[in-house]
Amino acid sequence: MHPFISSPLQTAVAAVVSMGLAQALHLPDPYWAPISAIVCSLDAFEGAVATARRRLVGTLIGVVLAALQVSFTAYNLINYGLAIALLGLLCRAARLHPSSLRFGAIALTVVVSDPNKSMVWITAGARFVDVALGIAVALLVVKAWPQGSNQDQ
C-alpha cells in the first residue's frame, strides 16, 4: 500500500481502537486516548519507542506534579506557572528530551484545569491511563502494520 494512503489509515485505526478501548474501560474523558494515539502514530514512523517513552514519562511527571500542586497549594496563575517551570527543571535535571516537557505541561494543564479538585488524583491517574492507552495502541498499530508501508513519509 502506498504511504500516501497507508499513513492516514494507520492513524485512523490507532484512533478508533484507542477510543473503543477507552470507552470500554469507562474512562471519564475517553477522547484523550485517541488524541494520544493520533499524536504518537503521526510521529511514530521513525523512533516509535523513543517517542512513546518521552511522551509517557513527561505525562507521568506532569500529572503527578499537577496532583501535588492541586493538593497542597491554592490554584492561581502564579502557582500554575511555577508548576510548569518546576516540571521543566525536573525534565532537564533528568536529561529528558524537550518533548517530555511539552507533553508533561499539557497533562499538567489538563489536570489542574479540572473543576473537581477533590478528585485530583483520580483525574491525574485517568489522564495517565488515557495517554498510556493511546500510546500503546499506536505502537501496536505501527508494529502490526505491513512492513514498508511507512517509507517516504
User: The pTM is what?
Assistant: 0.80
Lowest average pLDDT, out of 1-10, 35-44, 118-127, goes to 1-10
Q: Which three cell numbers stand for residue 83?
A: 508548576
Mean pLDDT score of the chain: 86
Q: Is the dihedral of CA 6, 10, 11, 13 positive or negative?
A: positive
Q: Find the mean pLDDT for residues 8-12.
A: 84
Backbone angles phi, psi at 146, to 5 degrees: -55, 135
Query: For residue 43, which of 135, 130, 129 has the smallest C-alpha distance?
Result: 135
Query: For residue 59, which of 137, 134, 146, 150 has the smallest C-alpha distance?
Result: 134
**pLDDT tens digits for range 102-130:** 889 999 999 999 888 899 999 999 999 99
Lowest average pLDDT, out of 33-42, 113-122, 133-142, goes to 33-42
Does residue 82 carry a pLDDT above 50? yes
Cα 58 to chain center, whole Å?
8
Does residue 22 carry a pLDDT above 70? yes
Does residue 6 carry a pLDDT above 80? no
Does residue 10 carry a pLDDT above 80? yes
Question: Domain limits of the chain?
Answer: 3-144
pLDDT of residue 3: 60
Residues 55, 40: contact at Cβ < 8 Å?
yes
Lowest average pLDDT, out of 33-42, 55-64, 112-121, goes to 33-42
- Residue count of the chain: 153
